[in-house]
């Protein structure tokens, strides 16, 4: 196969993701340089990369056109260039204004533009070609997330020798919504190029297999999809293949992602972070309850619902700003997409109103911060917070919920958690809420504020056990084990 050329310099393990695991910055001498980005995926895959010797293919950010591959901390970095026009159409457009709202149950209306789709196809092909050139013969390639759903199919055509995994970090919608997508069949076929397709929740995997049955008519059984090897008809024509012919097995299963739990606890135990948490509490008056929310500023996170519930509790006189404060960190996100601009305006208007109506000198009702913070500060905030508010309307997993739990080695703090976040499957000892039910949300916030210490400790202990056991290493190992199994099965078949 084509993988044999220069096999020496090629990699046995290749990650393909929209973004590279490194960020560009200007060093002390004014020279452009790269440093590891703080993300969870990077942490999760670093040990695997070190073990297998890996490459990472991704976009390097807005001002990083035409950079040659290089090595960073032992990882082979392969930048994919995007033009300004492609950033608009493939990334901000199709990825973040078509797929993102559609896959989050159309909380915001998805925009369908044929030009955006064309760009998505073109950019996915560029990523697939880069992967085909980088991967050694028989290598394993792990593709990530909704921006790259066509890569598995394209890559399988280019390099049938590879073992291909795909992990979807966001929800996969029910067929009734997914079927809106004009290119629904192409995307399902793109994904089916993988050997293993991972989702966050059981429901996401079953939504996908249902779409497979409805759109291409392939046989599915539980987490197995049987993709016919010979097609009698043009792709996309439902049922146009010979039943009972030879098939390729694809596993479509849930692999709930997690965090590096130990490293969060370790950071929480450092004297610096402890001191900072105490300082935050003291700055807010020392004795009152602190409610805390931290999210990318995104309409899926339910920040408006959270503020509505909190504002009404103040209006009803059930809480008062001398005793209760809300800190809301909204880290800047996708600021060039119109829906996100509007959301920011709405949130800032609401925060201004709440503070204007209920704040007092020295007691703001909401401390609203539109910044990104270093991880140390995040952990100090988690430690300072009596109540953590995760009110997402739809969220693949939500790592913030798990980070809060991992941080609270003191067995204190209450997590209010949306049942629409994947994290609620595991964290059943949180106060589970439906964010659309404002009265219910208000009641749960009051329960959290007034929860007695022994109950807080009992719930936190049980959640900590889950987050410690199911950490991100377990996640990547579970996924890669299935990929290895699939590679072994294919090898066996090929050898007869």
Task: Enumerate binding residues for ligand GDG (CB under 6 A).
Answer: 38, 40, 169-170, 257, 294, 296, 329, 331, 372-375, 378, 395-400, 403
In the complex, what is the shortest distance from the CB of residue 344 to ligand GDG, in angstroms, rounded to a whole number? Answer: 15
In the complex, what is the shortest distance from the CB of residue 92 to ligand GDG, in angstroms, rounded to a whole number? Answer: 16
Instruction: Say what angle helices 184-191 and 202-215 make with each other, to 10 degrees.
Output: 120
**What are 433's strand-pairing partners?**
418
In the complex, what is the shortest distance from the CB of residue 19 to ligand GDG, in angstroms, rounded to a whole number? Answer: 12
Question: What span, in angstroms and rounded, lies between the C-alpha atoms of 329 and 371?
Answer: 7
Question: What span, in angstroms and rounded, lies between the C-alpha atoms of 183 and 180?
Answer: 9
Strands of 27-134, DSSP E: 32-36, 54-59, 70-72, 75-80
CB nearer to ligand GDG: pick between 203 and 457: 203
- Cβ(273)–Cβ(267) below 8 Å: yes
User: End-to-end distance of the chain based on CA atoms, in angstroms?
Assistant: 19
Q: Is 399 helix (H, G, I), strand (E, B) or coil?
A: helix
CB nearer to ligand GDG: pick between 96 and 186: 96
In the complex, what is the shortest distance from the CB of residue 329 to ligand GDG, in angstroms, rounded to a whole number? Answer: 6
In the complex, what is the shortest distance from the CB of residue 144 to ligand GDG, in angstroms, rounded to a whole number? Answer: 9
- Cβ(64)–Cβ(143) below 8 Å: no
Contacts of 408 (CB under 8 A, 6+ apart): 268, 382, 383, 460, 464
Question: What span, in angstroms and rounded, lies between the C-alpha atoms of 39 and 22?
Answer: 10
CB nearer to ligand GDG: pick between 241 and 299: 299
CB nearer to ligand GDG: pick between 104 and 442: 104
In the complex, what is the shortest distance from the CB of residue 273 to ligand GDG, in angstroms, rounded to a whole number? Answer: 13
- Tokens 């119109």 belong to residue: 338
In the complex, what is the shortest distance from the CB of residue 138 to ligand GDG, in angstroms, rounded to a whole number? Answer: 28
CB count in 10 Å sphere of residue 65: 12
In the complex, what is the shortest distance from the CB of residue 107 to ligand GDG, in angstroms, rounded to a whole number? Answer: 12
- Which alpha helices (H) appear in 53-97, and where do they start and end? 84-86
Question: What span, in angstroms and rounded, lies between the C-alpha atoms of 446 and 324?
Answer: 11
CB nearer to ligand GDG: pick between 225 and 399: 399
Question: What span, in angstroms and rounded, lies between the C-alpha atoms of 457 and 196?
Answer: 39
In the complex, what is the shortest distance from the CB of residue 104 to ligand GDG, in angstroms, rounded to a whole number? Answer: 8
CB nearer to ligand GDG: pick between 134 and 476: 476
Comparing CA positions, the residue from 321, 281, 313, 311 lying closest to residue 448 is 313
In the complex, what is the shortest distance from the CB of residue 384 to ligand GDG, in angstroms, rounded to a whole number? Answer: 15
In the complex, what is the shortest distance from the CB of residue 258 to ligand GDG, in angstroms, rounded to a whole number? Answer: 9
Instruction: Supply the DSSP string of 409-455, one letter for each residue.
Output: TTS--EEEEETTBGGGGT-TTSEEE-TT-HHHHHHHHHHHHH--HHH
- Tokens 């196809």 belong to residue: 121
In the complex, what is the shortest distance from the CB of residue 276 to ligand GDG, in angstroms, rounded to a whole number? Answer: 14
Comparing CA positions, the residue from 60, 187, 178 lying closest to residue 117 is 187
Contacts of 45 (CB under 8 A, 6+ apart): 15, 21, 54, 56, 142, 476
CB nearer to ligand GDG: pick between 159 and 169: 169
Question: What span, in angstroms and rounded, lies between the C-alpha atoms of 91 and 113?
Answer: 13
Q: Is 98 helix (H, G, I), strand (E, B) or coil?
A: helix
Q: Please state whether beta strands 387-390 and 414-418 pair in parallel, antiparallel, or not at all (unpaired).
A: parallel
CB nearer to ligand GDG: pick between 402 and 456: 402
Q: Please state whether beta strands 387-390 and 247-254 pair in parallel, antiparallel, or not at all (unpaired).
A: unpaired
CB nearer to ligand GDG: pick between 108 and 487: 108
CB nearer to ligand GDG: pick between 170 and 216: 170
């Amino acid at each position: 196969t084509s993988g044999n050329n220069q096999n020496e310099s090629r990699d046995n393990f290749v990650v393909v993701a929209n973004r590279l695991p490194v960020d560009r910055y200007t060093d002390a001498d004014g020279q452009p340089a790269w440093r590891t980005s703080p993300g969870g995926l990077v942490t999760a895959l670093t040990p695997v990369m070190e073990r297998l010797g890996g490459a990472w293919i991704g976009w390097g950010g807005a001002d990083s056109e035409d950079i040659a591959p290089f090595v960073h901390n032992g990882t082979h970095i392969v930048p994919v260039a995007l033009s300004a026009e492609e950033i608009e159409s493939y990334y901000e457009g199709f990825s973040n204004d078509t797929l993102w709202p559609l896959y989050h149950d159309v909380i915001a209306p998805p925009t369908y533009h044929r030009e955006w789709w064309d760009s998505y196809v073109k950019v996915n092909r560029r990523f697939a070609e880069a992967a085909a050139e980088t991967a050694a013969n028989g290598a394993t390639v792990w593709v990530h997330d909704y921006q790259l759903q066509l890569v598995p199919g394209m890559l399988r055509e280019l390099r049938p020798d590879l073992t291909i995994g795909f992990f979807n970090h966001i929800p996969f919608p029910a067929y009734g919504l997914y079927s809106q997508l004009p290119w629904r069949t192409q995307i399902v076929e793109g994904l089916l190029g993988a050997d293993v397709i991972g989702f966050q929740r059981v429901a996401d995997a079953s939504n996908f297999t249902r779409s497979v049955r409805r759109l291409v008519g392939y046989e599915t059984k539980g987490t197995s999809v049987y993709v016919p090897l010979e097609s009698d008809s043009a792709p996309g024509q439902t049922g146009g293949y010979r039943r009972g012919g030879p098939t390729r097995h694809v596993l479509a299963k849930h692999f709930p992602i997690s965090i590096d739990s130990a490293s969060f606890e370790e950071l929480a135990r450092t004297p610096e972070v402890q001191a900072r948490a105490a300082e935050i509490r003291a700055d807010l008056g020392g004795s009152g309850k602190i409610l805390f929310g931290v999210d990318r500023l995104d309409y899926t996170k339910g920040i408006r619902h959270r503020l509505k519930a909190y504002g009404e509790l103040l209006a009803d006189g059930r809480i008062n700003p001398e005793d209760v404060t809300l800190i809301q960190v909204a880290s800047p996100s996708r600021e060039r997409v119109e829906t996100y601009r509007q959301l920011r305006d709405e949130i800032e208007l609401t925060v201004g109103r709440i503070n204007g109506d209920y704040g007092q000198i020295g007691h703001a009702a909401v401390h609203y911060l539109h910044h990104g913070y270093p991880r140390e500060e995040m952990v100090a905030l988690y430690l300072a917070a009596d109540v953590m508010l995760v009110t997402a309307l739809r969220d693949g997993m939500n790592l913030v919920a798990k980070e809060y739990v991992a941080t609270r080695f003191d067995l204190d703090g209450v997590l209010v958690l949306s049942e629409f976040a994947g994290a609620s499957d595991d964290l059943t000892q949180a106060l589970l809420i439906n964010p659309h039910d404002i009265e219910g949300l208000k009641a749960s916030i009051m329960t959290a504020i007034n929860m007695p210490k022994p109950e807080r400790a009992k719930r936190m202990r049980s959640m900590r056990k889950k987050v410690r056991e199911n950490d991100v290493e377990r996640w990547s190992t579970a996924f890669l084990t299935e990929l290895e199994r699939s590679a072994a099965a294919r090898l066996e078949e090929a050898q007869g």
